[in-house]
Structure 1
Amino acid sequence: MEEKKFNETSWKHHMKGGDGPDSYACNSEFQKQVLISTEDLIRQQIDEHLNIQNASFDPQNTFRIADFGCSIGPNTFYAVENIISAVKNKYKKSNQDQTPDFQVFFNDLIGNDFNALFRNLPSDRKYFVAAAPGSFYDHLFPKKSINFAHSSIALHWLSKTPKEVIRRGINKGRIHYLGGEKEVKEAYAAQYVEDFGRFLNARADELVDGGLMALQIVGFADGDAFSLSGIRMEYEILQSCLEDVAALGKITKEKVDSFNLPHYFASESELKELIEANGSFCIEKIAKMASPSGHKSDPKGFTLQTKAVLGMVFEEHFGNEVVEEVFRRFLDKVVESPEFFNDKYWEHTIYFVFLKRKGVN
């Protein structure tokens, strides 16, 4: 068996654990709305493309589902239960006498609060469960062992900040490529090509022939990465908060300049190009979905959501006390910027991508 090397940086980029008022579990309405908006699409695609005549989907075998980047729920439970319901419906429509047993693997980084996740498992669930800790950019399962792969609002996270950005210090004054220099965006894009390629390679090995994969990915239309957007404004406000804290002497300017968020927002053409280059999947559907508006015009709620998602990355780099100071200032600045919630700035796209593993139909 090939030895898999642990990515020493990957454990840091997880959501805020627990189930308290500042946890991801209590501040992930946006992510839930994405799942709700794609629920019917997933059911339709399963009905059209799940071939239960394929031996890999014999109802006497266990049907295995993996949710990559599951975080701590309850959204992951909503997602897998929708998938299971759609699969069961497909078997029933095909006049099968039985449906398979289901096993769900919840994947996230090793720092994820799996205790909170399993504490909150639905008591009436009709599936077996297991944790699969590790980076979804690595191989996590045996070859041809997974029937259905799923990931929602996770694949914009890079495995790391591009080395070129750190080594050359070419992004000083910003914490992300949005609104930055072209060479910074290109470095991020190159890292995304590497990472998404690794994700596809791993899933191609792990999925059975004819296996299905549903992805919901935050992105931008071609050419929109440098335009003014809500995400860019959010990052620029965070940058200004860090600069304020540095001006007070609580952190150094060098510490701020060395911080870059590991996010990349791909376009539809980039996604198609990378999937086609991989060659292991048929693209059954790519659809653009409107971005949910669950956080609009609620500065406190938006701040809690942002902190639940990004707080651990900030804490790793700057320490907990600085994080608290940064997000106190962030809330104040968002309150003072009503234009921040203008709909025109939140028109980034959610891409719904549905793939089928090539092989047996």
Structure 2
Amino acid sequence: MAPAEETSKFCEAYPMKGGDGPNSYANNSTYQRGVVDAAKELLSKAIAEKLDIDILLSSNSFQIADLGCSVGPNTFFAVENIVEAAKFKFQSQGQDSQVPEFQVFFNDHTPNDFNMLFKSLPQNRRYYAVGVPGSFYGRIFPNASIHFVHSSYAIQWLSSVPKVVVDKTSPAWNKGRIHYLNSPEEVARAYEAQYTEDMECFLHARAQEIVYGGLMVLTVPGRPNGSSHSHSSINMSFQLLGSALMDLARKGGVSEEKVDSFNIPIYCMSPQELEAAVERNGSFSIESMENLPHVSVDDTVSKSQLLAAHMRAGMEGLVKQKFGEEILDELFDLFRKKLEEAPFFIETGKTISFLCVLRRKGNGLEHAV
């Protein structure tokens, strides 16, 4: 298939808040940093046990891609962990002289603040850095060119809001809500169908880009197998944000019609759902799938303040695009207050973070496809 056809899937862009200001993602993503730290041991173990250095000895460089890198600094910590573990793998096998040079591709949507990303690149990095704009739901690299793919807290974002949930004539029209929690069953099914289609595209693209025997490590915010969508604290927090938006609409701060047509394109998957997507694709073997330990966060501020700040860093662009920037301060302040009034939303949610290690099949590995 020609490259133009490969990248033809329509994808909307939802960049995190750029820059280094008080509301920026760079300054409000300590939880995601905690997840990178929690994943370090499992990531190192995957490289130590599963990385086939024979596939690298034929190449003079080790190509790493971080998908959904945002603006840093979390992507730099993750990449450093990968480079450190790969170097250790070579050295532990007596291949000191064979350690390749490392090239890292930082990928995100074109509106991502790549200027901020590159301004904050570590000075003492042990790799060559490249920016690759584009949606990871399509092809972004040449055939069989990448040895290791990493993505943390990115594939929960869908390529777009399911069309039927903003269609007034559809039974899945999500009037008065901005996500699928406590919505009609048709809405949850539409989100699930969008997730299924997107993961098919994601895995199909990676299967072509990753060399045979190459690894892909995905860290995902999700919900436990067999648990209801209503038990996910991520989904609960979106429900509260929707409630805050509806309060603004009732006060005349925003149009209710706009709220009806606004939905957050995030799907909270279970490990089982990801496993099913990988099996349907058939190009990867699942080497391991494990829950990460609970991440403890900065306790110098209240949980509600922290969650509100993180929510704003992630959602400001989306909200601003739809409603303008005038409502931002009031909306996220209202959201924080709702969190304070309903702390059980934070305490009782069953959100998990899990890490999945995949290996590209083929060329004599497992069942060639």
Shorter-chain-normalised TM-score: which range? Answer: over 0.9
Please tell me whether the aligned partners of residues 11 and 137 of structure 2 are also in contact (alpha carbons under 8 angstroms): no
Task: Pick which of 282-291 and 65-74 moved more.
Answer: 282-291
Cα distance in 2 for partners of 1:2, 1:301 equals 42
Please tell me whether the aligned partners of residues 179 and 232 of structure 1 are also in contact (alpha carbons under 8 angstroms): no
SS of 1:246's equivalent?
Answer: helix
Counterpart mapping for 1:186-265 below 5 A? 186-265=189-268
Structure 2 partner of 1:152? 152
How far 1:154 moved relative to its partner?
0.6
Question: Of 10, 13, 18, which residue of structure 1 is paired with 2:12?
Answer: 10
SS of 1:333's equivalent?
Answer: helix
Cα distance in 1 for partners of 2:59, 2:44 equals 22
Please tell me whether the aligned partners of residues 39 and 355 of structure 2 are also in contact (alpha carbons under 8 angstroms): yes
How far 1:181 moved relative to its partner?
2.0
Q: Per the alignment, do residues 247 and 226 of structure 1 end up closer, same or farther by CA in structure 2, a change over 3 Å counting? A: same
- Normalising by the residue count of structure 2, what TM-score does the alignment of the two structures yield? 0.92
Question: Of 327, 335, 339, which residue of structure 2 is paired with 1:334?
Answer: 339
How far 1:248 moved relative to its partner?
2.1
Deviations 1:44-102, CA, capped at 9 Å, x for gaps: 11111111123xx0175110000000001110000011001111111111111231000
How far 1:214 moved relative to its partner?
0.3
Gaps of 5+ in 2: none
- Normalising by the residue count of structure 1, what TM-score does the alignment of the two structures yield? 0.94
Counterpart mapping for 1:178-193 below 5 A? 178-193=181-196
Q: Per the alignment, do residues 93 and 188 of structure 1 end up closer, same or farther by CA in structure 2, a change over 3 Å counting? A: same
Please tell me whether the aligned partners of residues 179 and 263 of structure 2 are also in contact (alpha carbons under 8 angstroms): yes
Structure 2 partner of 1:27? 28
Cα distance in 2 for partners of 1:21, 1:323 equals 14
Structure 2 partner of 1:320? 325
Q: Per the alignment, do residues 340 and 185 of structure 1 end up closer, same or farther by CA in structure 2, a change over 3 Å counting? A: closer
Please tell me whether the aligned partners of residues 181 and 239 of structure 2 are also in contact (alpha carbons under 8 angstroms): no
SS of 2:265's equivalent?
Answer: coil
2:104 maps to a residue whose letter is V
How far 1:193 moved relative to its partner?
0.6
Matched, 1:80 2:83: no
Structure 1 partner of 2:127? 127
Matched, 1:276 2:279: yes
Structure 2 partner of 1:68? 67
% identical aligned pairs: 44
Deviations 1:170-205, CA, capped at 9 Å, x for gaps: 211221112222211111010001101111011110
Cα distance in 1 for partners of 2:12, 2:230 equals 29
SS of 2:291's equivalent?
Answer: strand
Q: Per the alignment, do residues 59 and 175 of structure 1 end up closer, same or farther by CA in structure 2, a change over 3 Å counting? A: same
Task: Pick which of 15-24 and 318-327 moved more.
Answer: 318-327
How far 1:291 moved relative to its partner?
4.3
Structure 1 partner of 2:102? 102
Q: Per the alignment, do residues 123 and 310 of structure 1 end up closer, same or farther by CA in structure 2, a change over 3 Å counting? A: same
SS of 1:156's equivalent?
Answer: coil
Matched, 1:162 2:162: yes
SS of 1:272's equivalent?
Answer: helix
Cα distance in 1 for partners of 2:276, 2:54 equals 31
RMSD between aligned alpha carbons?
1.7
Cα distance in 1 for partners of 2:227, 2:255 equals 33
Structure 1 partner of 2:50? 49
1:147 maps to a residue whose letter is H
1:20 maps to a residue whose letter is G
Please tell me whether the aligned partners of residues 145 and 208 of structure 1 are also in contact (alpha carbons under 8 angstroms): yes
Task: Pick which of 291-300 and 74-83 moved more.
Answer: 291-300
How far 1:302 moved relative to its partner?
1.7
Please tell me whether the aligned partners of residues 150 and 216 of structure 2 are also in contact (alpha carbons under 8 angstroms): yes
